[in-house]
Amino acid sequence: MAATEIEQLIQILSKLPGLGPRSARRAALHLVKKKEVLLSPLSHALQRVEETVKTCSTCGNLDATDPCTICTDGRRDDSVICVVQDVADLWALERSNSFKGRYHVLGGTLSALDGIGPEDLKIDTLVNRAQSSLVTEVILATSATVDGQTTAHYIADCLENCDVSVSGLAHGVPVGGELDYLDDGTLSAALSARRKME
């Protein structure tokens, strides 16, 4: 068997999404063989992330500063908040380069099955932000899944007393599809053809 130290590394790597026990073993071996060019840089990158990256207390993005660079960027539009389930979706939208407003990361969707209720998501803070006079529109960019759409409708109800227009992403996002899997063009099209939530 491999040395205990390598076994521990394999065990931790196999917990990463996309890496099973076998690919974790390959990855560990690759790291050990490429100590200088891979293992050491990865070790340092992890330490840097551990030390610097925090959750933005305004929007929920992950960044080296709190508030994050998106929240503090003066060139972005304060009047629109785009609500996403996860930081990965925020990144996907940023990569699509089609949105210049602010974001709000929910941290998931409502889910009866997983026992996730409104109190488990950052909905209160969204409502607080939407009450600002600066905000005129909230785009609900949750997934086109049942849970994603249930969440969007729930949030639309919560925002009823705020003076904002509430919209959802246009059809164009494949039904059942997760945002992070889409190409930039589809995301961009779905965003620009967004429709008002009924």
Binding site residues, its own copies, CB under 8 A: 1-6, 8-9, 12-13, 15-19, 23, 25-33, 35, 38-43, 45-50, 52-53, 62-64, 68-69, 86-88, 91, 94-95, 180
What does the alpha-carbon distance between residue 171 and residue 191 come to, in Å, rounded to a whole number?
Answer: 9
Which of Zn ion, its own copies, none has residue 5 at its interface (CB below 5 to 8 Å by kind)?
A: its own copies
What does the alpha-carbon distance between residue 51 and residue 23 come to, in Å, rounded to a whole number?
Answer: 28
Q: Which is nearer to Zn ion, 7 or 183 (CB)?
A: 7
Helix, strand, or coil (residue 145): coil
Is 121 near Zn ion (CB under 5 A)? Answer: no
Q: Name residue 136's amino acid.
A: T
Q: Write out the H or E segment, with its range, that includes residue 71.
A: helix 69-72
Is 105 near Zn ion (CB under 5 A)? Answer: no
What does the alpha-carbon distance between residue 64 and residue 139 come to, in Å, rounded to a whole number?
Answer: 26
Q: Which is nearer to its own copies, 49 or 112 (CB)?
A: 49
Is 151 near Zn ion (CB under 5 A)? Answer: no
Say how many residues make up the chain: 198
What does the binding site for Zn ion look like in residue numbers (CB under 5 A)? Answer: 56, 58-59, 61, 67-68, 71
